[in-house]
Amino acid sequence: PAFIGLTLFTLSGIVHWIQLCRVGKKYLLVLPIGMTGMAGGFALRFLLHHNPTSKGVLIATTLLLLLSPCLFLAAGYVILGHLGTLFGPKVAKGSMLIPPARIATIFVWSDVGTILVQGLGGSMTVSDNIDTVNLGSKIVLVGVIIQFASFMLFSLLVVVFGLRVKSRFPHIWTATGSSAFRLFSGNPAENWHILYYALCATCVTILIRSTYRMIQFLQGHGGYLASHEVFFYCLDALPLWFAMSLYCSVWPPRFLNNSREAQVIELQKGGHRSLYGGESTADLL
């Protein structure tokens, strides 16, 4: 299973790096780095099967597989922030519970705290002392619970954004763009709904993973989930790989690259008027 995980995350990670080079936006660097970290974790997990007594490999494996997904969370924060500003300040103010520019800052700093907590606890779980292991599991549990609560709030922002755009700006919600969406293309994509639904899927899978992690550390080092590897692959690795692999084809910058100036120019020419429901250039600016 570790070799399969290594293969899947490596292949998807390679596609992410290629997409980053083709449609480069540094704000999504966290996504391929996270995939690379997960691949590294599975590579070390594979080595651990052949050298189970290596404490250094065990520590590195635990930390990579526990903390790399935090970069996936950061990618989600950035994507929502950019989606919130895609249609201008009027729509952003009417659809977002938190100003788009502050989303990444607020949630990333929250995750920095939980990463430090989880990293401390995770390093303790590989100790030879059972009391230290149990204490480490409890510390990780605290970090996972805080991270879960934080991401629940973020998921609420994602849902509210979609519902408010649909109810308050129906002309934007119903607009799908004039060109067909092509998988793995480097060309700009107009149908922003595809990216929004991919973000929703990401939220669901990360919440599944966080719920599994909470129950695992709640049960302790010798608990049922911790002692049965199949749950890790089905409730942690597989959901994360599926959600992040969506971005191999639904590469966010393709939907977010169009500048406000370009949109206004198109509006002045008469193009994309249906997207903004006939609003004037002044309204968009």
Domain assignment present for residue 271? The answer is no
Domain assignment present for residue 279? The answer is no
Split into its structural domains, the chain has a count of 1
Domain of 103: which CATH number? 1.20.1070
> Would the pLDDT of 136 be above 60?
yes
CB-CB contact of 80 with 153 (8 Å): no
pLDDT at position 271 is 43
pLDDT at position 176 is 65
Mean pLDDT (whole number) for 138-161: 92
Domain assignment present for residue 285? The answer is no
pLDDT tens for 62-78 read: 889 988 998 999 999 99
pLDDT tens for 209-250 read: 999 988 988 887 778 888 888 999 999 999 999 999 999 989
Mean pLDDT (whole number) for 101-118: 90
Domain assignment present for residue 126? The answer is yes
Indicate the residue type of 255.
F
For 191, the domain range is: 2-258
pLDDT at position 57 is 87
pLDDT tens for 162-210 read: 999 999 999 888 876 655 556 666 677 778 889 999 999 999 999 999 9
Mean pLDDT (whole number) for 106-113: 91
> Would the pLDDT of 132 be above 80?
yes
CB-CB contact of 46 with 3 (8 Å): yes
Mean pLDDT (whole number) for 126-154: 88
Longest Cα pair distance anywhere in the chain, in angstroms? 71
- In angstroms, what CA-CA distances link 193 with 73, 141, 276? 20, 35, 15
> What 3 state SS string does the chain have?
CHHHHHHHHHHHHHHHHHHHHHCCCHHHCHHHHHHHHHHHHHHHHHHHHHCCCCHHHHHHHHHHHHHCHHHHHHHHHHHHHHHHHCCCHHHHHHHCCCCHHHHHHHHHHHHHHHHHHHHHHHHHCCCCCHHHHHHHHHHHHHHHHHHHHHHHHHHHHHHHHHHHHHHHCHHHHCCCCCCCCCCCCCCCCCCHHHHHHHHHHHHHHHHHHHHHHHHHHHHCCCCCCCCCHHHHHHHHHHHHHHHHHHHHHCCCHHHHCCCHHHHHHHHHCCCCHHHHCCCCHHHHC
Domain assignment present for residue 283? The answer is no
pLDDT at position 222 is 77
Spatial CA neighbour of 269 closest among 207, 146, 178, 147: 178
Burial string for 173-210 (b: 16+ CB within 10 Å, else e) reads bebebeeebeeeeeeebbebbbbbebbeebbebbebbb
> Would the pLDDT of 277 be above 60?
no
> Would the pLDDT of 8 be above 80?
yes
More confident residue, 267 or 220: 220
CB-CB contact of 241 with 202 (8 Å): no
Domain assignment present for residue 140? The answer is yes
Domain assignment present for residue 278? The answer is no
Domain assignment present for residue 149? The answer is yes
pLDDT tens for 23-73 read: 777 888 999 999 999 999 999 998 888 887 788 888 899 889 988 998 999
Confidence (pTM): 0.83
